[in-house]
Copies of this chain bind each other. A is one copy, B any other.
Amino acid sequence: MAEERLPLGVAARLSRYLQILTQAKKTGKHTISSKTLSEYSNVNPTQIRRDLSSFGKFGKRGVGYNVDYLIARIKEILHTSGSHNLALMGSGNLGTAIASSKIFADHGFNIAALFDADPAKIGQEVGSLRVQPVTEVAETVRERGIIVGVLAVPPHAAQEAANVLVSAGVKIIFNYTEALVDAPPGITVHSMSPAGELLYALYFYLT
């Protein structure tokens, strides 16, 4: 029962297992083996068993792991049992796609507010959200206790949107754009890099 912060690799893999388990549960799976988890995560099955067994004996030999039980334990380990409010910047195609997806909701993330810099979009409804002007970011972030901001704006607007979020008190910037985003010390910027990941996948196909 480690109280210390997990090594980067372990935390990354556990997050991945959790995502896969959450989806597997949706398809009606009650148990899952390290072999199956390996196929979906591209992590070696021995590594998976090692990662899990370092926290306790979560599996049943000859059977595998109980999906619900494993989800609960990993959430405990990652301290992510709770729910968190997100602010989404950008109500274009990408912002709308994110707002319409259950992917964040599946993990207890609630998209609490949607902002756009375009005056023509203010007040429009996207799902259950109403598009708010950027001038309301600070107030909304404070009121709703938002610590994560998601950038779904055009690349040229990414830095400015990040600045607004950081000024408002957001601690984690989740950058869906390809633009580079700077932030002050203490603020985490996490950038999606689909093109980078595709280059990586292609490398192993080409060699």
In the complex, are the beta carbons of B171 and A80 less than 8 A apart?
no
In the complex, are the beta carbons of B203 and A79 less than 8 A apart?
yes
**Contacting residue for A180 out of B16, B40, B174, CB 8 A:** B40
Q: Which chain B positions have C-beta within 8 A of A198?
A: 104, 107, 109, 148, 172, 174, 190
- Pairs of residues from A and B, 8 with the lowest C-beta to C-beta distance, nearest first: A19-B196, A93-B97, A94-B97, A15-B200, A103-B178, A15-B199, A15-B196, A93-B96
**Contacting residue for A171 out of B93, B191, B205, CB 8 A:** B205
Chain B residue nearest to A190 (CB atoms) is: B201
Q: Which chain B positions have C-beta within 8 A of A129?
A: none
Chain B residue nearest to A75 (CB atoms) is: B199
A193 is an interface residue with CB less than 8 A from chain B: yes
Chain B residue nearest to A197 (CB atoms) is: B190
A130 is an interface residue with CB less than 8 A from chain B: no
Min CB–CB distance A123 → chain B (angstroms): 19
A23 is an interface residue with CB less than 8 A from chain B: yes
Q: Which chain B positions have C-beta within 8 A of A107?
A: 195, 198-199
